[in-house]
Structure 1
Amino acid sequence: MSRIWKISLLVLALVVSACAQPAATPSPTAAPAAPTAAPAPTATPEARPVTLKVMIVDYVKDKTDKWLENEVVPAFKQRFPNVNVEFIYVNWGTLDETVQGYFAAGEGADILNLGSEYIAEYGDRLAPLNRYLGAEAWPDIQQFIPATLETVTWKGEIRGLPWLVAPRAYMCRTDLLKEAGIERAPRTFKEAIEQARKTTIIEGNALKRAGLVTTGKLDDWQEYIALIWALGGELYKPSGEPAFDSPQARAALQFMYERRRAVYPDETVADLPPATGSRLADGTAVCIWGNLWGAPDVKDPIWERIEFVPGLTDPDNFPNSKPVVQVFTDWLAVAGYSKNVEIAAEFLKFLGTAENLNRYNRDFGSFPPRKDAWTGYVQEARPMMIMADLMAQHGRGFADVRETAKFREILQKQMSAYFTDQQDLDTTLRNIQEEYTQVLREAGRIP
């Protein structure tokens, strides 16, 4: 997941204290009072004293951390009394420095809490876990949403366990659409541009209502990636070089420009005032693209007037395009330098039961990554079940984004120049292609 999203997720979690079609929906159950028993190990780890170090960044202070320490560890020790678990709590601002220090030293935490895009950065330095977490060793892995497993798989090997999930989709107010003579939320590029133009209200050269709100001024670089995927494009060629010279990359960026101009006819139009709550709820946005943290409370009656759309496509120009729900998955990886890989895998399986993932994500305010954990608070909230089903059907993991920090800087700079008419489309795509190629070359990812 992006750094912006991760910081926003943690802050909001503290505030709230919180791909195949899934099988039959499980019956609602209350969240368990205590963790479930660990599954029987496939091979009993040597009964030597072990201290398993677990670095955690996704936690709600005095809530999920206490659950881990006071409930999870004692329950795990019932099966493995020789194992002590030590938690190391970090924040997103120090995560990269901490993890890089571990790998430089060749020692540190056995289990690492990583963000969605980290597999490309650390995949080769993480322990391969198919022998412990593959379907033959642990059938439960088949309950996990495919998009979440994309995030933790590198070179055919599972490298960790999905931990929490935040899918993104489009959500639109149907009553505000109908006011503008639109019967349903847009599904295609053409419909989205028309909807954005018809539902935007400008008074005194300032937005009073935006037809669409995303991050920034409709210049979200992560949405751009999702739109490329929706058109059937990829970020990289088989050679590993960037693919921003593709028809899909071009069409997606041009669409974003045209849709932005439908909301902001020129650069003199002032933006909406700062939000004090959900823009869908207060009516300053007709549609949003994002996760449920930017939406109304899941129990708000306004959800009866909100329609979900998994993603936008362009069937006129790309007949095979399919909607994409971008799935951000934070996960727990096992470091390749760990001397306790087997017992670390057992701890991941213990944390990864349906009951435990339900409990953790309930307190964190996020989605469990496995389908049979969509019980209790998930099933009781209709918007969460809709989003969960869309994730299962259309999800694609936000993963394998190489040299993410520099890539993000390139996209943000070049997209901004294009959207503000400082340069044309051809120049923008050429700059992205050339600058990102250089970044990948300097990182040793391409010759």
Structure 2
Amino acid sequence: MTTTSAGGRPPLARSLTVPAVTAALALALAACGGSGEPKSPAASTNEGRGPITFATGKDLTGTIQKLVGKWNAAHPDEQVRIIELPEDGDQTRQQLVQNAQIKSDAYDVIRLDAVWTAEFAARRWVLPLQEEKLEPATFVPAALETGRYRGKLYAAPWLTGTGILYYRTDLLKAAGVKSPPQTWAELQDACAKVKKTPEGEGADCYAGQYDKYEGLTVNYSEAVQSAGGQVFDAQGKPQVTSPQAKAGLQFLVDGFKNGTIPPKGVTLKEEEGRRAFQDGRLVFHRNWAYVYAMASAKDGTSKVNGKFDVAPLPGKDGPGSGTLGGNNLSVSAFSKHQATSRDFIQYIVSLDVQREYGKEQSFPLSRAALYDDPAMIKQYPYLPVMKKSLETAKPRPVAIRYSEVSAAVQDHVTAAVTGKKPVDQAAADLQAALSGLAD
């Protein structure tokens, strides 16, 4: 969520491990999907009621089972059975695709990475939802958009989130830095001051996710957005050769050259970076919300407990823009009990049920009211920062061929940050590759 998906894995990183997380923008559906005609015939609508299955990620806390149990107690004739999908995002997508291709009714409600909506909707593997019954105005707006395809809502937002900046409060204080950086220049200046202190000796400055996988697509997109650019414009045309987009790529390239990002950064995914920060080896770290609870652990597994805080990502000239991640829920077009499936989705994403789920796990949820709930903020102090970050976060491209888009980004950005191509050439080559995918 693939990325670390939200059901026990880091929100964007594992569930996104393969097609994964992100470029920043909104790739017009028409541009990526040609005529937009479905690639396979739709199953006939079946308004039946009865027992259903819920295909989701691993339930590490047991909370999903508990919530399903409450539904089952109230619906004896419409029982829900949980089917746990693979932890790896690529394997999950493959399993869901294979199931849809043979028109199997094994799954009724399916959990989709937010970036898969266009593919599943365009191929008519999932059905439009009755949006008005879900109270759309009460969702985080950016999260709601990830469930749309061609103006219709095909997936109800459940788990959401974006990247945030973790920083060492003790090291900044020792260096006389009074507040977290809002710009890249401020981040580099703060690092330089920290390194001059005894407390900061041996600590690396900054790291995100730069290994050649979905996380790199996310981090590149965030850099482009945070420099005022966009990977695709509203018409679905790639814009990676614009001055702003190249400035975002240049930030990453320069970061490796000048030591802001350590050389080993090209091998980092979510968990490697999280461990480095948690072990006290990073001053600043870009990651998802799941890291907060782990870095706050008081059992000796974290060396930075009580010594860190979070802030929105910095940008070129001011606060930056994160990439939106998350998991949504859809009704399989091949379900024999679609009416029950829609009702169950309405139940599981409702405010009260989300609040109960939120008390047991730290992944950001899709109902806006939870970000202002005093009890939730007390339990998860990062929520105000997450709320602010979600206001400027951008979704990944709405592309039927998203995995190819992400692979192209990974190829050419890797070439740039490893010094195999200059920024101008890498940007031009990526522009050409993305233009081909938008035909």
Q: TM-score range by the shorter chain?
A: 0.7 to 0.9
TM-superposed CA distance for 1:329, in Å, is 1.2
Tell whether 2:435 aligns with 1:437: yes
Unaligned residue ranges in structure 1 (runs of 5+) = 14-44, 316-320, 441-445
Go from structure 1 to structure 2 and tell me whether the alpha carbon gap of 1:138 and 1:120 turns closer, same or farther (over 3 Å shift).
Answer: closer
After superposition, where does 1:381-400 map in structure 2 within 5 Å?
Answer: 381=379, 383-398=381-396, 400=398
Give CA-to-partner distance per residue, 1:352-388, whole Å, 9 cap, x none: 2222112223334312221334558632235233334
For residue 404 of structure 2, what is the aligned residue in structure 1?
Answer: 406
Tell whether 2:282 aligns with 1:285: yes
Q: How far apart are the structure 1 equivalents of 2:197 and 2:210?
A: 18
Q: How far apart are the structure 1 equivalents of 2:361 and 2:412?
A: 35
CA contact (8 A) 1:55 1:113 kept: yes
CA contact (8 A) 1:210 1:285 kept: yes
TM-superposed CA distance for 1:222, in Å, is 0.9
Give CA-to-partner distance per residue, 1:202-248, whole Å, 9 cap, x none: 99xxx921111212479933121122223443322455342222222
Tell whether 2:4 aligns with 1:5: yes
The one-letter code sitting in structure 2 at the alignment partner of 1:190 is A
For residue 188 of structure 1, what is the aligned residue in structure 2?
Answer: 183
* Overall identity of the aligned pairs, in %: 18
CA contact (8 A) 2:117 2:146 kept: yes
Q: Counterpart of 1:223 in 2: which secondary structure?
A: helix
CA contact (8 A) 2:160 2:326 kept: yes
TM-superposed CA distance for 1:119, in Å, is 1.8
For residue 364 of structure 2, what is the aligned residue in structure 1?
Answer: 367
Q: How far apart are the structure 1 equivalents of 2:263 and 2:134?
A: 55
Give CA-to-partner distance per residue, 1:67-110, whole Å, 9 cap, x none: 244333223x0xxx542333322114432222212321234322
The one-letter code sitting in structure 2 at the alignment partner of 1:243 is Q
Given the alignment, which residue of 154, 157, 163 partners 2:158? 163
For residue 42 of structure 2, what is the aligned residue in structure 1?
Answer: none
CA contact (8 A) 1:151 1:397 kept: yes
Tell whether 2:78 aligns with 1:83: yes
Given the alignment, which residue of 199, 203, 209 partners 1:209? 203
For residue 142 of structure 1, what is the aligned residue in structure 2?
Answer: 137
CA contact (8 A) 1:217 1:260 kept: no
* Greater mean alpha carbon deviation, residues 396-405 or residues 148-157: 396-405
Tell whether 2:206 aligns with 1:233: no
For residue 119 of structure 2, what is the aligned residue in structure 1?
Answer: 121
Q: How far apart are the structure 1 equivalents of 2:266 and 2:196?
A: 12
Tell whether 2:45 aligns with 1:50: no
TM-superposed CA distance for 1:254, in Å, is 0.5
Unaligned residue ranges in structure 2 (runs of 5+) = 13-45
Give CA-to-partner distance per residue, 1:228-277, whole Å, 9 cap, x none: 223443322455342222222211000122223232699699999x9697
Q: How far apart are the structure 2 equivalents of 1:418 and 1:187?
A: 25
Q: How far apart are the structure 2 equivalents of 1:346 and 1:401?
A: 28
The one-letter code sitting in structure 1 at the alignment partner of 2:141 is P
For residue 21 of structure 2, what is the aligned residue in structure 1?
Answer: none
TM-score, length-normalised on structure 2? 0.75
Tell whether 2:331 aligns with 1:329: no
TM-superposed CA distance for 1:59, in Å, is 2.2
Go from structure 1 to structure 2 and tell me whether the alpha carbon gap of 1:200 and 1:155 turns closer, same or farther (over 3 Å shift).
Answer: farther
CA contact (8 A) 1:171 1:309 kept: yes
TM-score, length-normalised on structure 1? 0.74
For residue 17 of structure 1, what is the aligned residue in structure 2?
Answer: none
After superposition, the CA RMSD in angstroms is 3.8
Given the alignment, which residue of 291, 311, 314 partners 1:312? 314
Go from structure 1 to structure 2 and tell me whether the alpha carbon gap of 1:217 and 1:118 turns closer, same or farther (over 3 Å shift).
Answer: closer
Tell whether 2:109 aligns with 1:111: yes
CA contact (8 A) 2:240 2:430 kept: yes
Q: How far apart are the structure 1 equivalents of 2:78 and 2:265?
A: 61
Q: Counterpart of 1:106 in 2: which secondary structure?
A: coil
Go from structure 1 to structure 2 and tell me whether the alpha carbon gap of 1:312 and 1:120 turns closer, same or farther (over 3 Å shift).
Answer: farther
Aligned pairs, number: 389
Give CA-to-partner distance per residue, 1:114-150, whole Å, 9 cap, x none: 1121123223223222xx222xx443x3221112112
Q: Counterpart of 2:415 in 1: which secondary structure?
A: helix
CA contact (8 A) 1:52 1:84 kept: yes
CA contact (8 A) 1:166 1:291 kept: yes
TM-superposed CA distance for 1:427, in Å, is 1.3
Q: How far apart are the structure 1 equivalents of 2:216 and 2:11?
A: 20
TM-superposed CA distance for 1:291, in Å, is 1.7
